[in-house]
């Protein structure tokens, strides 16, 4: 589903800053992968390039059978519309739309007329909050709306950047549960975080340091249950 | 060694100020496009007011100085109709009154209608005019002096010689040489030594016509002896003008002289200086223009203030976290407010600088137009220091306070609220919940523009009102012109009727219709059908007094008759203009009191008052135009008499052919196409088309600037939303389309409001301003299709496309950076 070969990324014109160097990564459909690393390790850069928000300076990236490292501007828009869905740390849901309308937005983008936003919201536990505006929702509820919006697109790859970063523990666990569920349903879910505890519930943990993958495999102590998490 | 405390404080304060200045300067640079746009709008608002008001002050000062320089009369006594008396009789009558010591000066004149042929080569320039003869023994008239603008003055030795001066306005508008020769009625060639300005001709308003006849009405100024000889009135005078001492009572003097002239057995019309059409329009025009300028400038300025308010609000919002951090560090709100206030002050200052530049440029432009189109002997066009200083203060203070309000609000929040980021910083949806229960058609992309507008209702309202103010100016401006042009067109159509080439032939006095001179007109080769008319000046009394020019003619003639509007004629009586009936407060079938001349002797007329039934209304907007059937001639003791003929050119002849042939006839004073006045006004309007287009472009620019600012602010506020959309694969053009829809909604609302405001301005111009300046023209509020198209293009299209200016920034947006927490 996701295939990165020798991907590198440099910033700056004078003395270049290496964000990623020769990264190879393969993620299959149905995998729940956590990308772990300290601040500045390149994990968000990696996520942005898989989501075609940014382009690599070297190597190739193929996602959902699309070589986005060679795609043109129009193709990248199409790719984002049909292949990936984003979940952001600060949610970025539209404040002028209600919860159900935000979800409807995701369906509209993907052209999925058959989607019922209320049932999608029910699937993330927000069946009672469909007509609320974002400012009327808690942080956890807002993030669930963001997940529901991503689900409404029906895209096979879900990319989450610090999805629990602004949430309390209990809410964060609920969000992780939702993401796990998506992977179980066949989506490739890639979560970027600096929270090592989260990596315990992943199928795979990819650890980055200074733009390089320093480890890639299942959690060191085996996959934990959500109830065992603490932070 | 420690420095004195006071020095440390002063140094720290200076450092603080420099830091704040540098910081605010960086803020300005960050938003430089919007800053320049807002400053320009402020500048245009203040500059328009300063520049236009300067011209009003110039005109006021120049009018007063010009009138004083040429010693304009205080009271004028004009003998009724064709009456005249021997030279000296009028002066003797005036000097014999009880309060003769109140008189400063007395001047007898002979004022007669004439015709002037200034044709050269193939260009026919044959116009009616007035010949004014005065005593020039002292080199020129002592009252209503002549200021020679071009050529040379008359010398005392020119008395009785065929030498005249022409009105300079006539020379200027027709591009005549500074001196030359013309032919006047009677076929005599006279030399004109030059062009002169005189108060009664500063604005050329021939009796009982509309205004602005500089090019089609010739003032001929000469010695009394020459005028008497050229008009065949040897030894006669028919006009007296006097000046009254400062401590004299003009009303008393006027009444006594009127009585004294009445004792000579002739009727007389008395006119105070303020009633003179030229004087009245000259001064009233300034005041009315000033009112209009003030409203226009106020609206533009109001739009600018709203724009400034929006921008500063955005700047304050952008600094929200910095303000919160400053608060958390214990800095006082007053000090925190300094930086955004400095930004506001700098924008206001920049606006004032632009305003001065715009004002000076506009003033210079208007000065050249004024001096060209309104020649006065004295033009005082000093730079208006006090006006500009006042406008600069207003231009600075109001935008500054507009900026202060959002800053004041920003520093009143709790530090924790200001510092918050992420979802905790998210604010309410404004009025967006209002739309929650209103199902709008379409997908979420169709809903978002409406929701976005309601999310920021204050900015949406201010932007809408700002643009509406500018549109109101445009509608007011163009609508006023449309109303004038509409009235001219209606007048032209009413006058032309089925005889578009009809000529009005003014006779040399009141003549029997079987007079050989009158018969000769009908017999002229180039003349086809003719009808005799008796034209009399009258005054109708009602709610308002209305001057009338009653034409008594056979209403069943085939050549031309007035078109009756509304109800058909109800018996015999007076046919009034709709505007006259409205001002008099009468309707068809009611009587109106009319003071009109009655022939008392072969060449003398007196005035009587009669109640005359209003038999119908005509559709000519000229208020003074009135008609009666030929049967009314008995009531004025003038059966079989005429002083005007209507004439159609014979087949194969043009109006110019008729003019040239009739010019040779003794009985003809002038021959002019009936539609000449309307044609002249049409030409005048055509000259302003370019200026109008310039103004329209200028206003368009203002509206686009405001719309651009609004779109730009919206873009910055919604960068994260746009980035999210792009992350989900929404194309830039779709995001732009939503912004365009949002602006279209603003444009439609602004256009509707602006249209309403503009319509009110047109109403005000038509019913208040024009009624004072041009009471003789019955204007109605009209808007041409071109104005409506301009309105739609400006108000909706230009505003709608403003977001397209942000396309580059959208395309270049740093998506990863924008999607992370961003302030």
- Of the three residues B275, B296, B319, the one that is the final residue of a domain is B275
Q: SS3 string of B671-685? A: EEECCHHHHHHHHHH
- Residue B704 pLDDT > 80, yes or no? no
- Of the three residues B426, B444, B460, the one that is the final residue of a domain is B426
Instruction: Please give the sequence-ordered ranges of beta strands (E in DSSP) within chain A, or none if there are none.
Output: 2-11, 17-27, 32-36, 58-63, 66-67, 84-87, 157-161, 188-193, 204-209, 212-217
Among B471-485, B666-680, B689-703, top mean pLDDT goes to B471-485
Higher pLDDT, B233 or B53: B233
Q: Which residues pair with B244 in a beta bridge?
A: B103
Comparing CB atoms, the residue among A96, A109, A133 nearest residue B728 is A109
User: Could you tell me which of B285, B514, B328, B502 has the C-alpha nearest to residue B414?
Assistant: B328
Comparing CB atoms, the residue among B422, B428, B729 nearest residue A81 is B729
Report the alpha-carbon distance of residue B20 to residue B40 in Å, rounded.
24
Burial of B170 (0-12, 13-18, 19+ CB in 10 A): buried
Comparing CB atoms, the residue among A79, A101, A161 nearest residue B447 is A101
Sort out which chain B residues have CB atoms less than 8 A from A105's CB and list them: 444-445, 728
Sort out which chain A residues have CB atoms less than 8 A from B723's CB and list them: 92
Comparing CB atoms, the residue among A89, A135, A153 nearest residue B426 is A135
CB B426 to CB A97 under 8 A?
no
Domain shared by B59 and B180, yes or no: no
CB B729 to CB A133 under 8 A?
no
Higher pLDDT, B407 or A136: A136
CA angle (B126 as vertex; B122, B130 as ends), nearest 5? 155
Beta B188-197 vs B163-167: how paired, if at all?
parallel
| Residue-wise pLDDT tens digits, B367-381 | 887 777 778 999 998
Sort out which chain B residues have CB atoms less than 8 A from A53's CB and list them: 727, 815-816, 819
Domain shared by B125 and B188, yes or no: yes
Out of B128-132, B288-292, B307-311, B768-772, pick the least confident.
B307-311
Sort out which chain A residues have CB atoms less than 8 A from B727's CB and list them: 51, 53, 80, 86
Pick among B321, B422, B423 to test the A interface (most A CBs inside 10 A): B423
The answer, for B445 touching chain A at a CB cutoff of 8 Å, is yes
What's chain B's average pLDDT? 84
Q: Which residues pair with A67 in a beta bridge?
A: A62
What phi-psi label fits residue B758: left (phi over 0), alpha (psi between -120 and 50 degrees) or beta?
Answer: alpha
Domain shared by B551 and B633, yes or no: yes
CB B426 to CB A134 under 8 A?
yes
- Residue B6 pLDDT > 70, yes or no? no
DSSP output for B382-417: ---HHHHHHHHHHHHHHHHHHHHHHHHHHTTS-HHH
Sort out which chain A residues have CB atoms less than 8 A from B730's CB and list them: 77, 81, 109
The answer, for A104 touching chain B at a CB cutoff of 8 Å, is yes
Spatial contact of B127 and B116, defined as CB atoms under 8 Å apart: yes
Number of domains in chain B: 4
Domain shared by B602 and B566, yes or no: yes
Which segments of B497-563 does DSSP mark as H helices, in order? 516-523
Sort out which chain A residues have CB atoms less than 8 A from B422's CB and list them: 89-91, 139, 166
Higher pLDDT, B211 or B297: B297
| Confidence bin at B822 (pLDDT 50/70/90) | very low
The answer, for B446 touching chain A at a CB cutoff of 8 Å, is no
CB B724 to CB A81 under 8 A?
no
- Residue B143 pLDDT > 90, yes or no? yes
Q: What is the mean pLDDT of residues B724-752?
A: 91
CB A96 to CB B452 under 8 A?
yes
Q: Please name the helix (run of DSSP H) or strand (run of DSSP E) that holds residue A172, with its range, or none.
A: helix A169-184
Spatial contact of B116 and B207, defined as CB atoms under 8 Å apart: no
Domain shared by B681 and B670, yes or no: no
Instruction: Please give the sequence-ordered ranges of beta strands (E in DSSP) within B543-667, or none if there are none.
Output: 546-553, 564-565, 574-577, 591-599, 605-618, 625-629, 641-649
Pick among B321, B425, B444, B726 to test the A interface (most A CBs inside 10 A): B444
For residue A221, give how far its alpha carbon lies from the nearest alpha carbon of chain B (Å): 32
Pick among A63, A71, A90 to test the B interface (most B CBs inside 10 A): A90
Sort out which chain B residues have CB atoms less than 8 A from A161's CB and list them: 819
Which segments of B728-802 does DSSP mark as H helices, in order? 732-764, 770-773, 785-792, 799-800
Give the CA diameter of chain B: 118
| Residue-wise pLDDT tens digits, B147-179 | 999 999 999 999 999 999 999 999 988 889 999
pLDDT at A26: 95
| Confidence bin at B488 (pLDDT 50/70/90) | confident
| Residue-wise pLDDT tens digits, A122-165 | 988 888 999 888 888 888 899 889 989 998 998 999 999 988 88
- Residue A12 pLDDT > 90, yes or no? no
Spatial contact of B475 and B755, defined as CB atoms under 8 Å apart: yes
Higher pLDDT, B438 or B479: B479
Spatial contact of B614 and B586, defined as CB atoms under 8 Å apart: yes
pLDDT at B417: 67
| B222 to A90, B164, B443, B722: CA distances (angstroms) | 91, 5, 83, 79
Comparing CB atoms, the residue among A106, A108, A134 nearest residue B445 is A108
Burial of B53 (0-12, 13-18, 19+ CB in 10 A): buried
Burial of A103 (0-12, 13-18, 19+ CB in 10 A): buried
CATH for the stretch A31-53+72-221: 3.40.50.300
CB B729 to CB A78 under 8 A?
yes
Find, in chain A, the residue whose alpha carbon is nearest to that of B731.
Answer: A77
Sort out which chain A residues have CB atoms less than 8 A from B429's CB and list them: 95-96, 133-135
pLDDT at B767: 87
In sequence order, the 6+-apart residues with CB closer than 8 A to the CB of B339 are B20, B23, B24, B27, B319
Domain shared by B526 and B473, yes or no: no
CB A77 to CB B427 under 8 A?
no
CB B816 to CB A90 under 8 A?
no
User: Could you tell me which of A206, A140, A226, A80 has the C-alpha nearest to residue B725?
Assistant: A80
pLDDT at B687: 57
CB A92 to CB B427 under 8 A?
no
For residue A145, give how far its alpha carbon lies from the nearest alpha carbon of chain B (Å): 13
CB contact residues (below 8 A), chain A span 136-175, against chain B: 139, 142, 153, 161, 166
Report the alpha-carbon distance of residue B164 to residue B81 in Å, rounded.
25
Out of A68-72, B419-423, B431-435, B531-535, pick the least confident.
B419-423
Q: What is the mean pLDDT of residues B272-300?
A: 81
The answer, for B809 touching chain A at a CB cutoff of 8 Å, is no
Find, in chain B, the residue whose alpha carbon is nearest to that of A143.
Answer: B423
For residue B450, give how far its alpha carbon lies from the nearest alpha carbon of chain A (Å): 9
| Confidence bin at B430 (pLDDT 50/70/90) | low
ipTM beyond cut 0.90: no
- Of the three residues B275, B310, B343, the one that is the final residue of a domain is B275
Comparing CB atoms, the residue among A81, A91, A96 nearest residue B455 is A96
- Residue B438 pLDDT > 70, yes or no? no
DSSP output for B67-96: HHHTT--SEEEEESTT--EETTHHHHHHHT
- Residue B815 pLDDT > 70, yes or no? yes
Domain shared by B373 and B404, yes or no: yes
Comparing CB atoms, the residue among A91, A108, A161 nearest residue B444 is A108
Sort out which chain B residues have CB atoms less than 8 A from A85's CB and list them: 728
Residues in chain A: 231
The answer, for A131 touching chain B at a CB cutoff of 8 Å, is yes
Domain shared by B263 and B384, yes or no: no
Domain shared by B403 and B267, yes or no: no
Comparing CB atoms, the residue among A44, A96, A153 nearest residue B432 is A96
- Residue B823 pLDDT > 70, yes or no? no
Out of B427-431, B486-490, B538-542, B594-598, pick the least confident.
B427-431
Domain shared by B241 and B357, yes or no: no
pLDDT at B269: 92
Q: How are strands ordered across the β-sheet holding A204-209?
A: A84-87, A157-161, A188-193, A32-36, A204-209, A212-217
CB B729 to CB A131 under 8 A?
no
Report the alpha-carbon distance of residue B113 to residue B220 in Å, rounded.
10
- Residue B242 pLDDT > 80, yes or no? yes
For residue B731, give how far its alpha carbon lies from the nearest alpha carbon of chain A (Å): 6
The answer, for A180 touching chain B at a CB cutoff of 8 Å, is no
Sort out which chain A residues have CB atoms less than 8 A from B720's CB and list them: 92
Domain that holds residue B526: 501-674
Higher pLDDT, B75 or B372: B75
The answer, for B731 touching chain A at a CB cutoff of 8 Å, is yes
CB B724 to CB A82 under 8 A?
no
CB A94 to CB B721 under 8 A?
yes
| Confidence bin at B421 (pLDDT 50/70/90) | low
Comparing CB atoms, the residue among B421, B444, B819 nearest residue A97 is B444
Comparing CB atoms, the residue among B422, B429, B729 nearest residue A95 is B429
Dihedral pair phi/psi, residue B152, rounded to 5°? -130, 160
CB A81 to CB B819 under 8 A?
no
User: Could you tell me which of A44, A45, A5 has the C-alpha nearest to residue A25?
Assistant: A5
Q: Which residue has the tokens 């609508």?
A: B479
Burial of A186 (0-12, 13-18, 19+ CB in 10 A): exposed
Residues in chain B: 823
CB B724 to CB A88 under 8 A?
yes
The answer, for B422 touching chain A at a CB cutoff of 8 Å, is yes
Domain shared by B553 and B634, yes or no: yes
Domain shared by B143 and B116, yes or no: yes
């Amino acid at each position: 589903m996701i295939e990165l070969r020798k991907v590198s990324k440099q910033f700056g014109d004078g003395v270049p800053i290496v964000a990623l160097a020769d990264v190879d990564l393969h993620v299959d459909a149905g995998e729940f992968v956590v990308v772990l690393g300290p601040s500045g390790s390149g994990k968000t850069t990696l996520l942005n390039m898989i989501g075609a928000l940014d382009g690599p300076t070297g190597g190739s990236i193929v996602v959902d059978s699309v070589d986005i490292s060679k795609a043109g501007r129009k193709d990248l828009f199409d790719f984002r519309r049909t292949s990936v869905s984003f979940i952001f740390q600060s949610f970025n849901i539209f404040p002028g739309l209600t919860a159900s309308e935000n979800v409807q937005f995701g369906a509209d983008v993907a052209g999925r007329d058959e989607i019922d936003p209320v049932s999608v919201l029910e699937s993330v536990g927000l069946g009672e909050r469909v007509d609320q505006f974002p400012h009327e929702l808690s942080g956890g509820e807002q993030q669930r709306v963001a997940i529901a919006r991503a689900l409404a697109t029906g895209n096979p790859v879900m990319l989450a950047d610090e999805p629990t970063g602004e949430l309390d523990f209990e809410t964060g666990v609920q969000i992780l549960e939702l993401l796990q569920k998506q992977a179980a349903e066949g989506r490739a879910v890639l979560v970027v975080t600096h929270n090592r505890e989260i990596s315990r519930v992943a199928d795979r943990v990819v650890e980055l340091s200074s733009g390089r993958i320093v480890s890639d495999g299942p959690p060191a102590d085996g996959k934990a249950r959500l109830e065992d998490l603490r932070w | 060694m420690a420095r004195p405390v006071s020095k440390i404080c002063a140094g720290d304060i200076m450092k603080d100020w420099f830091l704040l200045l540098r910081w605010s300067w960086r803020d300005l640079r960050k938003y430089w496009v919007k800053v320049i746009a807002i400053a320009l709008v402020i500048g245009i608002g203040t500059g328009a007011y300063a520049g236009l008001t300067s011209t009003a002050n110039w005109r006021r000062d120049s009018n007063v100085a010009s009138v004083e320089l040429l010693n304009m009369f205080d009271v004028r006594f004009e003998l009724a109709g064709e009456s005249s008396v021997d030279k000296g009789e009028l002066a003797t009558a005036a000097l014999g009154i009880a309060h003769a010591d109140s008189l400063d000066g007395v001047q007898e004149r002979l004022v007669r209608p004439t015709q002037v042929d200034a044709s050269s080569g193939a260009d026919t320039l044959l116009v009616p005019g007035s010949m004014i003869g005065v005593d020039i023994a002292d080199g020129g008239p002592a009252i209503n002096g002549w200021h020679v603008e071009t050529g040379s003055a008359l010398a005392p030795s020119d008395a009785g010689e065929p030498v005249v001066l022409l009105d300079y306005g006539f020379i200027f508008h027709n591009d005549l040489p500074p001196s030359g020769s013309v032919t006047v009625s009677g076929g005599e060639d006279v030399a004109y030594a030059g062009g002169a300005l005189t108060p009664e001709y500063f604005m050329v308003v021939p009796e009982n016509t509309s205004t602005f006849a500089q090019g089609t009405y010739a003032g001929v100024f000469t010695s009394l002896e020459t005028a008497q000889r050229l008009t065949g009135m040897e030894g006669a005078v028919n006009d007296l003008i006097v000046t009254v001492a400062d401590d004299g009572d003009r009303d008393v003097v006027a009444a006594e002289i009127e009585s004294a002239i009445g004792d000579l057995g002739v009727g007389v019309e008395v006119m105070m200086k303020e009633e003179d059409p030229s004087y009245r329009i000259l001064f009233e025009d300034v005041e009315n223009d000033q009112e209009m300028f003030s409203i226009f400038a106020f609206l533009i300025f109001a739009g600018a203030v709203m724009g400034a308010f929006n921008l500063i609000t955005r700047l304050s919002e952008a600094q929200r976290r910095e303000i919160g951090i400053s608060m958390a560090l214990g800095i006082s709100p007053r000090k925190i407010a300094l930086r955004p206030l400095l930004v506001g002050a700098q924008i206001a200052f920049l606006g004032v600088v632009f305003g001065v530049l715009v004002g000076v440029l506009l003033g210079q432009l208007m000065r050249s137009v004024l001096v060209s189109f309104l020649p006065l002997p004295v033009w005082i066009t000093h730079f208006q220091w006090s006006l500009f200083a006042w406008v600069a203060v207003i231009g600075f203070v109001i935008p500054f306070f507009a900026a202060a309000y959002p800053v004041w609000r920003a520093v009143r929040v709790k530090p924790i609220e200001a510092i918050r980021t992420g979802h905790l910083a998210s604010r309410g949806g404004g009025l967006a919940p209002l739309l929650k229960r209103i199902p709008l058609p379409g997908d979420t992309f169709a809903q978002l523009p409406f929701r976005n507008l309601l999310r920021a209702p204050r900015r949406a309202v201010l932007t809408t009102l700002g643009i509406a103010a500018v549109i109101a100016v445009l509608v007011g401006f163009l609508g006023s012109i449309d109303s004038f042009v509409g009235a001219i067109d209606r007048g032209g159509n009413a006058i032309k009727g089925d005889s578009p080439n009809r000529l009005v032939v003014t006779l040399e006095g009141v003549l029997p219709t079987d007079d050989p001179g009158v018969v000769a007109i009908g017999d002229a080769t180039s003349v086809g059908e003719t009808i005799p008319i008796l034209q009399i000046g009258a005054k109708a009394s009602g709610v308002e007094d209305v001057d009338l020019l009653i034409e008594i003619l056979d209403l069943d003639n085939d050549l031309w008759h007035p078109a009756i509007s509304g109800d058909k004629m109800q018996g015999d009586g007076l046919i009034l203009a709709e505007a006259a009936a409205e001002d008099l407060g009468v309707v068809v079938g009611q009587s109106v009191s009319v003071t009109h001349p009655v022939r008392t002797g072969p060449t003398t007329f007196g005035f009587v008052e009669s109640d005359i039934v209003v038999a119908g209304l005509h559709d000519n907007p000229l208020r003074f135009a009135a008609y009666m059937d030929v049967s009314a001639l008995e009531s004025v003791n003038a059966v079989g008499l005429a002083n005007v003929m209507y004439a159609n050119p014979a087949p194969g002849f043009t109006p110019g052919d008729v003019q040239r042939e009739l010019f040779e006839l003794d009985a003809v004073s002038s021959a002019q196409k009936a539609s000449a006045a309307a044609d002249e006004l049409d030409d005048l309007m055509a000259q302003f088309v370019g200026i109008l287009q310039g103004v329209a472009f200028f206003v368009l620019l203002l509206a686009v600037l405001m719309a651009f600012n609004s779109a730009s602010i919206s873009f910055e506020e919604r960068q994260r939303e746009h980035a999210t959309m792009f992350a989900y694969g929404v194309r830039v053009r779709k995001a732009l389309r939503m912004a365009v829809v949002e602006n279209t909604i603003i444009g439609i609302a602004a256009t509707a409001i602006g249209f309403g405001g503009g319509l009110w301005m047109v109403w005000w111009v038509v019913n208040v301003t024009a009624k004072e300046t041009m009471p003789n023209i019955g204007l109605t509020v009209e808007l041409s299709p071109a104005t409506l198209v301009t309105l739609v293009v400006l108000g909706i299209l230009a505003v709608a496309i403003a977001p397209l200016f942000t396309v580059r920034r959208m395309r270049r947006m740093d998506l990863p950076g924008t999607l992370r927490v961003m302030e």
